[in-house]
Structure 1
Amino acid sequence: MLFHEYLKNEIFEIVKKLLDKNNLESDFLKNNTFNVELSNKIDFGDLSSNVALVFSKFFRTSPLQLAEFISSELKQNKYVLKVEVIKPGFVNIFFTNSFWQNQLSQFIKLDGTYNYKLKTKSICIEFVSANPTGLMHIGHARGAVLGDTISSVLEEVGHNIIREYYINDAGEQIKKLYKTIVFHVENILESSKKKLSDDLYPGEYLKNIAQKIFKKFAIKDSNELKSFEQKIIDIILNDIKKDLVDLKIIHDNFVSEKKISSIDNINKLKNKLLKSKLAYFGFQEKPKNISSEDWEQKEQLLFCSKKFGDDSDRALMKPSGEMTYFMSDLLYHSNKIKRKFEILINIWGVDHFGYVKRLKNALSELIHDDYKLEIKLTSLVNLIKKGEKLKMSKRKGNYITMREVTKEVGVDALRFMMISRNADKTIDFDFDSLKIKNKDNPVFYVQYAYARCMSILETSKKKIKEIEKDAYKLDYLVLHEEKMLIKYICNFFNVIKNSSLYYEPHRITNYLYDLSKIFHNYWGLGNIDKEKKIITENDELTKSRLVLIRVVSMTLNKGLSLLKISSPKSM
């Protein structure tokens, strides 16, 4: 059992005992929860709980009085060293050394394997889904690594995961792509240097693709390209797949918008929307940024967005008969729900913020199957070089590709940084700091902690064999830094669990950095006091410390592996 859950169960029983004593209904506990968290400061104990703050109103007492009662009950536990109550009603618990040594022994027996599987669910996580109109940029990298890591964490706790990429291969962007390739091929045929118009995609990448097609298929007339639209998409999509594989990302499914958007499927969805009175044929309101002279009202299919608090009803079909992005997404999500996934997770950019509620409202009214839709929005990534933020514009074609960033800083650094903060927080991606070898480079700092552990274990092979033969003792691990390491190690599975529950892999990167910091500080003690060296003249003490180092290395390796980041044995 996770030690958080152990303490939570102990507190739960105390509260239940109080309910019984006062003849109160225990059903109250089912709908109310409290937190038990690892304390950040030594003065606040090993674990801290807000239980008294949560339940005091129900018991018609002050948080402090309830906290004192819980404290007095907890003190009877043989593993509890002491309990302190802090205003306005927090309960801080200090455990005995034997408790932590017992927790570490249990962790060692599990050999770094997460053994607290959750109820298995079928989950489809859609991420990246970049338009096949060019190479991916750094924003795509963030969504790619986030989606892939969430998938890995969910797999770790026992869920069945499908990594999915939705190919936007229909609509205006594909027409624009085709026109851009035709333009470049005509320039080659005519030996011309015409400039791109604003309605075409800029950049050298598509120009190079046009040259490849021209040479490979010996194009003599641009009209020959009419049958090449799918070939163009496939070329770009293969480049995207290659870049993803280089980043250690492999999708299980690639779902084509074109294939699921048959006339029959579109008509079925339209009729269902109309029958459910969620849509109607009408006229969209004039956008504020368009003058009355330039605005022409045309009848089109509209979704009843105002019913759900939107400021206007949103278009589902364009006057031309083409689908809007909204209709396309409804069709795609209907397709996913038909495939019987219990949870759908989408990783989108923060620019989709206003769109989330609209999609959820439409699906909840349209489809009543048992499913859950979660949408994680990723904030911006600022690229920084020599202390200055790089200015980029995809519209103008001057942006740094994910491929270029990967080549410059490496896969490990890119993956670590893309999940170093919560998805809704901006990331400052500093190229220079990721090339230096100190604690300001977080991925180096964590990898170096692992390499340092392996170096210690390599030089102590003989003693390691003795440990494997004999029953090791942990009684010697009494230093504050040793206790901190044990606490953090034993918290590892709880970090994984919470990362899976909240879809927040940054909890793991932060954990690994903090664990590395505690370890580096512990290692450094030996430079100040020889009695605190890991290898000492006392064999039993040395063996205990080597066990601790081995478990630190095991935890770092497991954490990095979960993030698909390498664990170098030497640096």
Structure 2
Amino acid sequence: MLYHDFLKDKLIDSLRLNFSDKFSSDIIDKSELTIEIPNNKKFGDVSTNVAMVFSKKLGTTPNNLAEKVINELRKIEAIEKIEQVGPGFINIFFKINFWHDQLKVLLKKMERYNYKIKKKKICLEFVSANPTGLMHIGHARGAVLGDTISSVLEEVGHDVVREYYINDAGEQIKVLCNTINHHLNYNNEPINDLKNIYPGEYLKKVSKKMSNLLQKGEKKQLKNESEVVDVVMSDIKNDLREISVGHNYFVSEKKISNEKKVSILKNKLEKQKLSYYGYQDKPKSIDDDNWKKKKQLLFKSKNLGDETDRALLKPNGESTYFMSDIIYHQNKIDRNFDTLINIWGVDHSGYVKRLKLALEALNPNKKYNFEIKLTSLVNLIEGEKKKKMSKREGNYITLRDVVKEVGSDVIRFMMISRNADKKIDFDFDLVLSKSKDNPVFYVQYAYARSMSLVKIFNKTFDCNFNEIDKSDFDLSHLILDEEKALIKKLCNFFNVIMSSAKYYEPHRITNYLYEIAKDFHAYWGLGKVDTSKKIIMDENEALSRSRLFLIYAISQIIKKSMDILKINCPESM
């Protein structure tokens, strides 16, 4: 059993023993209990918040609870020292041989680990870029984030459905079709009216494809909007495949928000007295002196805590985006998902509250969890200059161009290298460099270097390390502070994956990988300064075996993590 599971069980047992009259599994939730590795080793190998979290529930003080827990923990042979610090914090120091055993347990658990989660059915919607042009690097952030969160959730045991919501209705599709028809009929005429035409070379190429399709059908003008949407979506899907992103379902807004579905929702809202016909103030985005208020169907969101009531239907009777979003998300709820997760750009932040309020009002007795992760901007930097991009003006850098220049691995790692709400500076010079400042290279190089050490060991001692039975390896030689620190960090692997899944934050994994790589490279470098600290020592096979076992564990953690992230691990660089 790994240390965090082992300690949690011991801590819960001590609470049950010392507070039997008040202890109940209903009030003592093990998931609230944290076991952490302090940044400063003087605060122990691990620390726990058990006294702070459960003292009130058990009718005692943090200090009293900590004292009773410590008395029980002192009976554990593997514990060398235990301290109470401040108002109930407990710091624990383990004997070195405990960590040696933990390293072996870790490798066994790598084959199959039980995260002991309550399995959930999760719908994760991400990308959902408008089918009006090629994807840009900003779309890539949401794409990789959504795909990676899905992979992490699946890794811990959840069922995940990946969905892409195709915005194939509304004004932007009308403008798209206007653009295609314009190119079909006036191919060489310059575009001056940006309000009704999308600029850029890409849609000219789409027009050529459409021209061939229309000629086959003996048509001269595009009338079916779905024809051009299908062509653009085909290119978007190809671009997503290039960065190893896939979806289970592509949901059409046009199909899911048809007249029948709109009528059903409209009647439901009226029945629950959640809508009315009224007037909205002039939107801030409209700059038209002739604009007049018109009666339209509104959702009573102000009564529920929103700033204003939101439009469900336009004055002409057409559905708003809000109406379509409610229908789509109600469809998810009706499919009995336990959790809905959306990955949206930060520019959609204003829609979050109104959508959540609408779903809560429509489903007062339905249990589900709805999370929306907002992704911040991605700045493309080349030669210390930011590249300005505008999709509407047609001067943006496409995702496929970036993939050609830096590759999928770099894009996937960098897009999840920071928390979703933090901006990312995608520096071309940095991500193509071979230095520790390039986190992708640094981690991949750590794996390649570990594989190189295995080859050196095999050649030095005329054996095949991968075929050796490692269960009886003597790890007592691993006594350096650097070795102990690495072992502790490695043994935290499953905690990192679990917390990444719990909070939908895959940057925890990339940060962890970088720390492992940094410590590994530093450990490797010790032998350059002091030959007694070399990993492979010709004259000492036993010590070499112990140290290579540690290196092997590092390689397995890196490989497993990178597999979850869908990033390659080359064995040589």
Query: Which residue of structure 2 lines up, in the alignment, with residue 197 of structure 1?
Result: 194
Q: Deviations over 1:326-359 (max 9, x none)?
A: 1001111122222222221111111222221211
Take 2:444 and 2:470, find their aligned partners in 1: how far apart are those partners?
Answer: 29
Change (3 A) 1:153 1:31: closer
Match in the other structure for 1:548: 550
Q: What is the identity, as a one-letter code, of the residue corresponding to 1:152?
A: S
Aligned equivalents of 2:396 and 2:417: distance in 1? 22
- TM-score, length-normalised on structure 1? 0.93
Q: How does 1:328-339 map to 2 (within 5 A)?
A: 328-339=324-335
Q: Which amino acid aligns with 2:417?
A: S
Distance 2:146 2:400 in 1: 18
1:382-414 superposed Cα distances (whole Å, 9 cap, x missing partner):
222222222222232222221122122111111
Q: What is the CA–CA distance in structure 2 between the aligned matches of 1:465 and 1:566, rounded to whole Å?
A: 20
Q: 1:534, 1:546 within 8 Å by CA — same for their partners in 2?
A: yes
- Report the Cα distance in structure 2 between the residues aligned to 1:418 and 1:96, rounded to whole angstroms: 40
Please say if 1:515 is aligned against 2:511.
no
Aligned to 1:364: 360
Asked if 2 retains the 8 angstrom alpha-carbon contact of 1:2 and 1:493, the reply is no
What SS class does the counterpart of residue 261 from structure 2 fall into? helix
Match of 2:485 in 1: 484
**What code does the residue aligned with 2:151 have?**
S
SS state at 2:165 partner: strand
Residue by residue over 1:282-309, the C-alpha shift from the partner in whole angstroms, topping out at 9 and shown as x without a partner, is: 1123335668953312111100011111
Report the AA paired with residue 50 of structure 1: N
Structure 1 Cα separation of the partners of residues 371 and 171 of structure 2: 28
Structure-2 separation of matches of 1:491 and 1:484: 11
| Cα separation, 2, equivalents of 1:382 and 1:225 | 39
- The answer to whether the 8 A contact 1:463-1:543 is kept is no
Q: Report if the CA contact (8 A) 2:74-2:82 is conserved.
A: yes
Distance 2:386 2:368 in 1: 42
Label 1:360 to 1:531 Cα distance change in 2 as closer, same or farther (>3 A): same
Matched with 1:52 is 51
One-letter amino acid of the structure 2 residue matched with residue 143 of structure 1: G
Cα distance, 1:59–1:120 mapped onto 2, change above 3 Å: closer
**How has the CA–CA distance of structure 1 residues 297 and 369 changed in structure 2, closer, same or farther, with 3 Å as cutoff?**
same
Contact 2:23–2:58 (8 Å) recurs in 1: no
Decide whether aligned partners of structure 1 residues 327 and 3 sit closer, same or farther in structure 2, where only a CA change above 3 A counts: same
Partner of 2:237: 241
- For each residue in 1:413-468, what CA deviation from the matched residue of structure 2 results, as whole angstroms up to 9, or x when unmatched? 11001011111111121111101101100000000000000001122231616732
Q: Runs of 5+ in structure 1 lacking a partner?
A: none
Find the counterpart in structure 2 of residue 417 from structure 1: 414
Distance in structure 1 (CA, Å) of the matches to 2:287 and 2:556: 65
Does the C-alpha gap of structure 1 residues 466 and 541 become closer, same or farther in structure 2, counting only changes over 3 Å? Answer: farther
Partner Cα separation in structure 1 for residue 284 and residue 246 of structure 2: 43
| Residue in structure 1 matching 2:425, options 428, 435, 458 | 428
Task: Indicate if the aligned counterparts of 2:28 and 2:54 stay in contact, CA closer than 8 A.
Answer: no
The aligned counterpart of 1:137 is 136
Q: Residue 430 of structure 2 aligns to a residue in which SS? A: coil
> Does the 8 Å CA contact 2:180/2:222 hold for their aligned counterparts?
no
Q: How far apart, CA to CA, are the structure 2 residues paired with 1:104 and 1:95?
A: 14
Counterpart selection for 2:303 from 298, 304, 307: 307
In structure 2, how many angstroms separate the alpha carbons of the residues matched to 1:429 and 1:87?
Answer: 43
The answer to whether the Cα contact below 8 Å between 1:248 and 1:564 also exists between their aligned partners in 2 is yes
- Deviating more after overlay: 98-107 vs 60-69: 60-69
Judge conservation of contact 2:342–2:371 (CA < 8 Å) in 1.
yes
Counterparts in 2 of 1:238 and 1:465: CA distance versus 1, 3 Å: closer
Structure-1 separation of matches of 2:200 and 2:284: 32
> Could you say which residue in structure 1 is the equivalent of 2:7?
7
1:226 is displaced (CA, Å) by 3.3
Q: Which amino acid aligns with 2:158?
A: H
Q: Distance in 1 between matches of 2:52 and 2:336?
A: 41
Tell me the amino acid that sits aligned with residue 287 of structure 1: P
In structure 2, how many angstroms separate the alpha carbons of the residues matched to 1:291 and 1:253? 38
Gaps of 5+ in 2: none
Q: 1:451 aligns with which of 448, 452, 456?
A: 448
- Pairwise CA distance, 1:366: 0.7
Task: Kindly report which structure 2 residues correspond to 1:229-308, keeping only aligned pairs within 5 A, or say none.
Answer: 229-287=225-283, 293-308=289-304
Instruction: Report which stretch shifted further, 224-233 or 260-269.
Output: 224-233
Paired residue for 1:439, among 436, 441, 450? 436
Task: Quote the Cα distance in structure 1 between the aligned partners of 2:222 and 2:473.
Answer: 73
Distance 1:121 1:32 in 2: 16
RMSD across aligned positions (CA): 2.4
Q: Deviations over 1:110-149 (max 9, x none)?
A: 3444333523222211100111000111221010000000
Cα gap change, 1:149 to 1:528, in 2 (>3 Å): same
Matched residue of 1:527: which SS? Answer: helix
C-alpha deviation, 1:194, in angstroms: 4.6
Q: For residues 459 and 389 of structure 1, do their structure 2 counterparts lie closer, same or farther at Cα, with a shift above 3 Å needed?
A: same
Q: Does 1:559 align with 2:555?
A: no
8 Å CA contact 1:449–1:520 kept in 2: the answer is: yes
**Cα deviation code 1:77-103 (max 9, x no counterpart):** 211111223335422111112221222
In the superposition, relative to structure 1, how do residues 474 and 246 fare at CA in structure 2: closer, same or farther (>3 Å)? same
Report SS of the residue matched to 1:82. strand
Q: How many residues align?
A: 566
Residues 278 and 465 of structure 1, relative CA distance in 2, 3 Å threshold: closer
* Equivalent residue runs for 1:25-44 within 5 Å: 26=24, 28-30=27-29, 33-44=32-43
Q: TM-score, normalised by structure 2?
A: 0.93
Give the residue type in structure 2 aligned to 1:458.
K
2:172 is the counterpart of 1:173: yes
- Give the Cα separation in 1 of the matches to 2:409 and 2:380: 17
Say if 1:137 and 1:400, in contact at 8 Å, map to a contact too: yes
Tell me the equivalent position of 1:504: 505
Deviates more, 1:129-138 or 1:282-291: 282-291
For 2:224 and 2:260, the matched residues in 1 are separated by 26
1:53-68 to 2 correspondence within 5 Å? 53-56=52-55, 63-64=62-63, 66-68=65-67
Q: Percent identity?
A: 55
CA distance in 1, matches of 2:286, 2:406: 44
State the alpha-carbon separation in 2 of the partners of residues 291 and 242 from structure 1. Answer: 38
Is residue 296–residue 315 contact of structure 2 (8 Å, CA) maintained in 1?
A: yes
Question: Is the Cα–Cα contact under 8 Å of residues 16 and 23 in structure 2 kept in the other structure?
Answer: no
Written as runs of structure 1 = structure 2, the 5 A alignment for 1:463-482 is 464=465, 467-468=468-469, 471-482=472-483
Q: CA deviation at 1:370?
A: 3.4
Give the one of 320, 339, 346 matched to 1:343. 339
The 8 Å contact of residues 415 and 565 in structure 1, kept in 2 or not, is answered as yes
1:194 and 1:285, CA in 2 relative to 1: closer, same or farther beyond 3 A? closer
- 1:374 is aligned to 371
Q: Distance in 2 between matches of 1:98 and 1:469?
A: 16
Matches for 1:397-412 after TM superposition, within 5 Å: 397-412=394-409
Separation in 1, partners of 2:62, 2:115: 33
Query: Cα offset for 1:69?
Result: 4.5
Corresponding residue for 1:76? 75
- Kindly indicate whether the alpha-carbon contact (under 8 Å) linking 1:112 and 1:555 is maintained by their aligned counterparts in 2: no
Aligned to 1:207: 204
Shift of 1:532: 1.1
